[in-house]
Amino acid sequence: MTDLIDDFELPESAPPPAPKRIVRVQAGVVSNISRIAGRMPAPDSWVVSDTANIGDIWDGESFSPPPSPPPTAEDVYAEADRRLEALAATYSPQERETWATQVDEAKAIKAGATDAPLLAPLAAAGGRTLDEMADRVLFLAAQFAAASGAILAARNTLAAMDPIPQDYADDDRWAV
């Protein structure tokens, strides 16, 4: 038997080095992650890295995350839905169900009607006249319609862009 000494062999008194995390890079993209003994060199097409993840880009010196996928129209619609929900969030769904009736009664009051079964108790509870309550309802309805319209217009504009900008969800892109 021949007595060979491995170049990587350490004296028994020294603890073995910690394993190394290595990543396989194919065409500049991390495709696999593994570990090797700490004293072993990384094989060809493998790079030592404690932080790289599958899909990360290797430029020969450092790793970076892959670019985000381009936003879709569905992403824009979801953002619009989120903004519309936030717009109405201070009102319960039950109260929102009365909005059409409130607006109808407010228009009728402004046209001379005196009967308003929904608005009359709300006006009394708020210390307003029926005419003041009608003005308030119509004002708030117009404000809500304008804000909703601005969100929907921004949604339509953004969804029609090709490509849709990565910053589509930034407040600057929404007019509300």
Q: pLDDT per residue over 77-128, tens digit each?
A: 999 999 999 999 999 999 999 999 999 999 999 999 999 999 999 999 999 9
Nearest to residue 20, comparing CAs of 43, 54, 45? Answer: 43
In this predicted model, what pLDDT tens digit does every residue of 42-57 receive, in sequence order? 898 999 999 999 999 9
Q: What's the rounded Cα separation, in Å, for the pair 76 and 157?
A: 10
DSSP character string of 3-55: ----TT---TTSPPPPPEEEEEEETTEEEEEEEE-TTSPPPTTEEE-SS--TT
pLDDT digits (tens, 9 = 90+) for 12-46: 677 778 899 999 999 999 999 999 988 888 898 99
| Predicted structure pTM score | 0.68
